[in-house]
Every structure is written in structure tokens, then in C-alpha cells.
């Protein structure tokens, strides 16, 4: 049991479905409320007086004084590439000198650079790196993190990455949600035979990953120069037959027809979306696909062209925000910072950005029934912040006022 008493504000969306259009801007803000946690779940929300009347046993519960704190749902990071090795610290400086991401990839940098480091790593070292990064998420109030493979690009090494996520889960209090991203890039040994690599994904990697229950989702980097819409269809349909739900890296650099694929396959998410077509947005809206926006990557890659937030709103497409934590285009697990970039780079309201890292991010992972809002019956995944008002999370854009991260009813991180 845990009682969080007399919060300055309790800030949350409501419900179990992603919020699009104007509803994304509508938060519930309550003052002077307390939250009673029993076991892993939120047992009750109300004033301290009514809670203690209805739950007298709560008098004996450990307490957190909330008068100088606000409570948000635990943040959900719906897009990371957590199990990586090595670093690519030289690349951003090349970009600042005018070399493009695609040119860096052609010269053997980019994803292939990380591929080598991951293939050479021992399973233990890869798990350690994944644990360390997952733990670092806690200091930003994050309680759920999606994590992708995609730097192995062989049966053995994709499995090694997914096993690192599985083994890391045993050591961290927050929830890790694994995604297979074998179609991230062509590995060097299949450079001249892309069809054979896609056959490998469809006939070997997907069935093996599925039978060993190592992933919940399958992702494809659907982009000109990477994987075509037709290839994405083939891979994601095969994944679907094996129980892996589809999500996509979509239209990051150019309009590639990826948003259309996401809509037609009823993908849970289409991510990046700097250049979706109008037909693609209509297909996504019809399918209820969440747009996972990654403003950290926009900033780090010096992109001038951003997703059109007002277009997404107009189509009623729910927006989520993720860090895209990866060594090349967004080497950070700081979802607090990236949420702010959603506002200051893309023009999302503070309310829409908060919804994007809570309810909508949870919905994009099929977890909105369990987490992403502060409501009775949901998991007690909470973030507590030492500010008087939720707008201060954006207004003081350089501060990290996190006080507590609570995962499933247990204090997982406390700022000293």
C-alpha cells in the first residue's frame, strides 16, 4: 500500500483509447487529490478525507506528501532502439559540416556501424547496456519503454538483441515492450540480393522470434532506399500470421507510401511521418493508427521539415511522442526533453504533448487498458514532479523536476 497525499495537481487524460483531434488537448486537472495504491494498482483517487473514510486501512500505509508535487501518469516511450553497442559521436559533427544521413550511410557509417558493434558484443555486454539505458529512463518519469532489435540483421543477432531485452526486463522495474525490426537495413552480406534477405526475415526470423515469444511487434523501415511499401507489406503480413502486430518507420526522409501501408495493415503506429501523403493520413485515420512523432531525431538530424501537427489534428489522428533512442539519430532516453521538443519544435500544445507521452503512447503499444492514465483500476504507474503547475514542465524547459517514478505501485526512482 502507498498513499500519495494532497497533490498540488493530478494531471491525466481519461479512458483506454487513444485521443485524437481536439480531445488530445483536453486533460483532467484536479487539485488537492490523493492517490491510494494497493498492490500494483490504483485503488482510489479522492481527497484524503474521503479516501481515509472509505479505506481506513490506508491510515497505516506509507505516505508521500504531495503538497509540492504534481502527479502525471508514468511516461511511456513508444519508440526506442535500446539494445545497441558502440557510439557514433563523429556523425553528428559531420552532419553539422553538411554531410547528409544518407551519404553517411552510403559510406558505411550509420546503421551498419552499429551493426558491427552489436554483432561483436557478447550477450552479457548487450544486456548490460540495455539495462543501463532502461534504468536511465526512470529519472525522466518513464515507466514503459518499447525497445527494438534491428542492429543484428541475421537470425542469430536479431535474437541476441531480443534476448538482451528479455534478460534486461528481469533486472529493471519499468516495463520493456520488445519489437522485431529485422527490416531496418540490408546487411552487407545481402547487399546484392535483397530478395534473399526478405526471404530470411519472412521464413526464418519471424517464425523463430514468434515461436520463442521474443517480440510483441514487428516493425519495418519503410523508406526510399531502405524497404519499399511492397516489401513492408510482405514482411508485416507474414509477421501478422505469426501474431506479431505491425508498426512502421514511415516517411521520415521523403514521401515513400509508408503511411498508406500503415493504414492498410491497420498498424498500431506509424512513426516519424515528416512526409506522409494525404492519402496516407486518410488511411491512418480510418485505421485508428497512432502517429508516433520523434522530434529528438528531427533536432539531432537538423531536419528543417517537420510533421504537420495541424494536419494530423485535422484528420483526428492521435499523436504520440517517443525518444527514438538510438546511437545515430537520437542518442538520449530523456523523454521529458523530447516531449518539450514536441511542443517547441513541432508546435504541439502542452496538453497534447502530455497526452502524447502518456495515453497515446500506451495506446500505440496496445497497453492503454493498463497504463497511460491515472484512473482507479489501472496499474499504479506514476511520475511525480516538484512543480506547482504542469505548464512548468515546459516553461522551465531546461530543468528536470522529477521527484519520484513509481512502477506498478513501487517507488522505482526517487530524486535525492
Site string for Zn ion, 272-311 (x = CB under 5 A): ----------------------------------------
Which 95-124 positions form the footprint of Zn ion (CB under 5 A)? none
Q: Are strands 2-7 and 9-12 parallel, antiparallel or unpaired?
A: unpaired
Q: Count each helix (H run) and each strand (E run) in the chain, helices first.
A: 17, 18
Nearer to Zn ion, 158 or 324 (CB): 324
The side-by-side arrangement of strands in the sheet containing 382-385 is 28-30, 9-12, 70-73, 382-385, 402-407, 410-414
Q: CB 81 → Zn ion: shortest distance, Å?
A: 6
Q: CB 204 → Zn ion: shortest distance, Å?
A: 23
Residue nearest Zn ion, Cβ-based: 324
Rounded Cα gap, residues 237 and 162, in angstroms: 20
Contact segment (CB under 5 A) with Zn ion among 28-36, 88-96, 313-321, 323-331 equals 323-331
For 26, 114, 231, 233, the CA distances from 194, given in Å and listed in that order, are: 46, 20, 10, 15
Rounded Cα gap, residues 144 and 366, in angstroms: 12
Q: CB 220 → Zn ion: shortest distance, Å?
A: 11
Q: Is 251 in the site for Zn ion (CB under 5 A)?
A: no
Contact segment (CB under 5 A) with Zn ion among 30-38, 324-332, 375-383, 400-408 equals 324-332
For 147, 163, 177, the CA distances from 124, given in Å and listed in that order, are: 17, 10, 19
Q: CB 326 → Zn ion: shortest distance, Å?
A: 6
CA dihedral 309, 315, 321, 322 (to 10 degrees): -110
Nearer to Zn ion, 163 or 324 (CB): 324
Nearer to Zn ion, 222 or 402 (CB): 222
Nearer to Zn ion, 324 or 351 (CB): 324
Q: CB 148 → Zn ion: shortest distance, Å?
A: 7
**Residue in this structure with the C-alpha cell 481515509, named with its chain if needed:** 52
Q: Is 219 in the site for Zn ion (CB under 5 A)?
A: no
Among the listed residues 328, 319, 349, 354, the one whose alpha carbon sits nearest the alpha carbon of residue 339? 354
For 115, 126, 192, 204, 239, the CA distances from 119, given in Å and listed in that order, are: 6, 10, 21, 18, 24
Rounded Cα gap, residues 80 and 278, in angstroms: 27
Nearer to Zn ion, 6 or 324 (CB): 324
Contact segment (CB under 5 A) with Zn ion among 19-27, 50-58, 116-124, 316-324 equals 316-324
Number of residues binding to Zn ion, judged by CB under 5 A: 1
Rounded Cα gap, residues 411 and 408, in angstroms: 9
Q: Is 324 in the site for Zn ion (CB under 5 A)?
A: yes
Q: CB 77 → Zn ion: shortest distance, Å?
A: 12
Nearer to Zn ion, 260 or 324 (CB): 324
| Contact predicate 358/143, CB 8 Å | no
Q: CB 322 → Zn ion: shortest distance, Å?
A: 8
Interacting residues with Zn ion (CB under 5 A)? 324
Amino acid at each position: 500500500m502507498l498513499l500519495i497525499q494532497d497533490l498540488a495537481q493530478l494531471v491525466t487524460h481519461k479512458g483506454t483509447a487513444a485521443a485524437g483531434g481536439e480531445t488530445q488537448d483536453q486533460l483532467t486537472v484536479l487539485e488537492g487529490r490523493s492517490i491510494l495504491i494497493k498492490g500494483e494498482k490504483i485503488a482510489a483517487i479522492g481527497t484524503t478525507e474521503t479516501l481515509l473514510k472509505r479505506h481506513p486501512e490506508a491510515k497505516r500505509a506509507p505516505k508521500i506528501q504531495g503538497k509540492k508535487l504534481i502527479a502525471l501518469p508514468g511516461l511511456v516511450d513508444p519508440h526506442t532502439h535500446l539494445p545497441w553497442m558502440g557510439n557514433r559521436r563523429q556523425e553528428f559533427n559531420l552532419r553539422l559540416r553538411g554531410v547528409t544521413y544518407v551519404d553517411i550511410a552510403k559510406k558505411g557509417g550509420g546503421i551498419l556501424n552499429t551493426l558491427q558493434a552489436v554483432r561483436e558484443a557478447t550477450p552479457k555486454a548487450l544486456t548490460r547496456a540495455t539495462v543501463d539505458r532502461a534504468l536511465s529512463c526512470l529519472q525522466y518519469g518513464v515507466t514503459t519503454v518499447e525497445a527494438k532489435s534491428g542492429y543484428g540483421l541475421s537470425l542469430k543477432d536479431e535474437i541476441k538483441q531480443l534476448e538482451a531485452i528479455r534478460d534486461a526486463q528481469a533486472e529493471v522495474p519499468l516495463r520493456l515492450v520488445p519489437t522485431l525490426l529485422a527490416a531496418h537495413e540490408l546487411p552487407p552480406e545481402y547487399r546484392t540480393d535483397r530478395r534473399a534477405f526478405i526471404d530470411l526475415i519472412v521464413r526464418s526470423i519471424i517464425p523463430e522470434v514468434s515461436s520463442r515469444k521474443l517480440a510483441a511487434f514487428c516493425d519495418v523501415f519503410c523508406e526510399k532506399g531502405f524497404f519499399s511499401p511492397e516489401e513492408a507489406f510482405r514482411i508485416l503480413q507474414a509477421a501478422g500470421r505469426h501474431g506479431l502486430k505491425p508498426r512502421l518507420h514511415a516517411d521520415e526522409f521523403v514521401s515513400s507510401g509508408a503511411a498508406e501501408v500503415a493504414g492498410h495493415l491497420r498498424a498500431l503506429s506509424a512513426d516519424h511521418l515528416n512526409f506522409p501523403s494525404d492519402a496516407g493520413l486518410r488511411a491512418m485515420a480510418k485505421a485508428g493508427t497512432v502517429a508516433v512523432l520523434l522530434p529528438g531525431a528531427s533536432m539531432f538530424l537538423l531536419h528543417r521539415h517537420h510533421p504537420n501537427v495541424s494536419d494530423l489534428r485535422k484528420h483526428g489522428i492521435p499523436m504520440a511522442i517517443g525518444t527514438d533512442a538510438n546511437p545515430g539519430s537520437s542518442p538520449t532516453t530523456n523523454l521529458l526533453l523530447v516531449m518539450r521538443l514536441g511542443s517547441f519544435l513541432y508546435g504541439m500544445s502542452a496538453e497534447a504533448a502530455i497526452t502524447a507521452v502518456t495515453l497515446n503512447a500506451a495506446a500505440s503499444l496496445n497497453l492503454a487498458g493498463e497504463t497511460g492514465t491515472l484512473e482507479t483500476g489501472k496499474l499504479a504507474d506514476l511520475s511525480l514532479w516538484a512543480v506547482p503547475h504542469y505548464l512548468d514542465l515546459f516553461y522551465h524547459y531546461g530543468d528536470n523536476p522529477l521527484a519520484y517514478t513509481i512502477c506498478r505501485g513501487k517507488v522505482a526512482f526517487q530524486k535525492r
